[in-house]
Structure 1
Amino acid sequence: MSQDQPGDHLSIRISNEDRERVAQILHNAMSEGRIEVAELEERLDAVYAAKTFADLEPITRDLPVTSTPVPRPPSAPAPVYSPVSGSRIVPGAMPGPGNSIAVMSGVERKGDWVVPERHNAVAVMGGVEINLTHARFTAPETTIQCFAFMGGIEIYVPEDIHVIVDGFGFMGAFEDKSMGAQAPGRPVVRITGFAMMGAVEVKPPKKRHLRGSDRREIED
């Protein structure tokens, strides 16, 4: 009976969960000053392009982590999702940018844009605004990974999107003021991450003033 040789697991295909675990290691490394913003963006691009554990291993080789994540036993297959007419979920659509990074500056994502399955928002002494009011999604569940250091990230979520917020704030805030509820066919947006001397706020869309067919946004 043959035995697995060291490194055999590196050829195994990785899951989205494996990518998210490595992405969290990178965000932690940046918050500790081990890597810079430009390095974070470059490494995150490599994480989400990775196909196997061998692709992930070099990304955290110089960071204080044990090793590339060990593959977990396969779980039950996910149910097949069939979008309904008029759904916000558009599998196969060309996704928008995967990163929103503001360093002593500001970045906005709004309007009719297609949100990728994973989106990274980083605010370092700057501000990021992500408005999902008219957004569409490439998958039934989307993850927005946030990191705010002496900066702010605002995410506007309408009522027809179910949002799950599980981030953490240290000398900062990670607040959920959204009003969306879970319902069949609605996209799920998971917002996670870390705020240090900064804030991540999840809240309802900006109020709208209607006059005939014209609309304009009014700041809260």
Structure 2
Amino acid sequence: MGEDAKAMRAGDADREAVAAILREALAEGRLDLHEVDERLARTYAARTYGELDPLVADLPATLPWQEPPAPPADEKPLVLSAGWSSEKRTGAWRVPRRIVAEPSMSDVKLDFRQVPSPPPHIDLEVKGGMGSIVLVVPEGWSVDTDELRATWGGSVKNRHHGPAGPGRPTIHVSGTTGMGSFKTRGAYFYE
């Protein structure tokens, strides 16, 4: 954040966004009650973004004014076709707003644990065959599978269906599983 942005005046909604992140950190055991009380007092007294930023700098969250600009409307989706060999994305990869996964004969694995700056909403379209799709998602992320249909004996196992934490993304999944499966796993998943 540049010096000009740090000097910009914060509003009530900005202070409430920081307070929500601090309360979430307390619930997760990242901060103790004394630390949260101290930071909340500073939050509600803050006048600028520059005063709010340090209060959550050591927590895994992105504030609304820190989010990267929306990608261009003509951004192409990432298409992963797993024919005879598996497709996977791991490490610090760039996540687009739209992903199409086609696990026809093999598997697709999307590991979001080290993604540096994901978009707030990710659309994942599944065009299932006989392969499976596995998403490894960090704590606080949400995966919405309401529009994903299991067909031809396929299955859907989603452990991340609750609301996303403050500043955390939601992955909206649509399409069909075919004969394969769709699963989500947590951040502590080991191969």
Q: TM-score w.r.t. structure 1 length?
A: 0.50
User: How far apart are 1:187 and its partner, in Å?
Assistant: 1.6
Residue of structure 1 equivalent to 2:94: 114
Counterpart of 1:164? 144
Cα distance in 1 for partners of 2:118, 2:141 equals 14
Distance 1:117 1:140 in 2: 8
Contact 2:118-2:169 within 8 A present in 1 as well: no
1:158, 1:112 → 2: CA distance? Answer: 13
Give the counterpart of 1:202 among 160, 178, 184.
184
Q: What secondary structure is seen at the aligned counterpart in 2 of 1:174?
A: strand
Residue matched to 2:111: 131
Rounded Cα–Cα distance in structure 1 between residues aligned with 2:109 and 2:188: 12
Question: Using the alignment, how far apart are the partners of 1:151 and 1:201 within structure 2?
Answer: 12
Of stretches 97-106 and 113-122 in structure 1, the one that deviates more from structure 2 is 97-106
Supply the AA of the counterpart residue of 1:202. T
Identity of aligned residues (%): 25
Q: Which runs of 5+ in 2 are unaligned?
A: 1-52
Deviation (angstroms), 1:178: 2.7
Q: How far is 1:164 from its partner? A: 1.2
Distance 1:90 1:111 in 2: 20
Q: Which amino acid aligns with 1:91?
A: P
Structure with greater strand share of residues: 1
Pairing partner for 2:174 from 174, 192, 199: 192
Contact 2:145 2:161 in 1 (8 A): no
Distance 1:136 1:110, change over 3 A: same
Question: Deviations 1:125-181 (Å, cap 9, x if unpaired)?
Answer: 111110111124553211111122111111111112122112110111122023764
Residues in 1 aligned to 2:120 and 2:180: alpha-carbon distance in whole angstroms: 29
Q: Report the Cα offset of residue 205 of structure 1.
A: 2.9
The one-letter code matched in structure 1 to 2:177 is A
Once the two structures are superposed, what CA deviation does each residue of 1:53-110 show, in whole Å capped at 9, x if it has no partner? xxxxxxxxxxxxxxxxxxxxxxxxxxxxxxx766395336798971111102111101
Which residue identity lines up with residue 145 of structure 2 in the other structure?
V
Give the TM-score normalised by the residue count of structure 2.
Answer: 0.57
Aligned length: 126
Higher mean Cα deviation, 132-141 or 94-103?
94-103
Secondary structure class of the residue paired with 1:129: strand
Output the CA distance in 1 between the equivalents of 2:170 and 2:94. Answer: 14
Alignment of 1:14-25 (within 5 A): none
Cα gap change, 1:113/1:90 in structure 2, threshold over 3 Å: closer, same or farther? farther
Q: CA RMSD in A?
A: 2.8
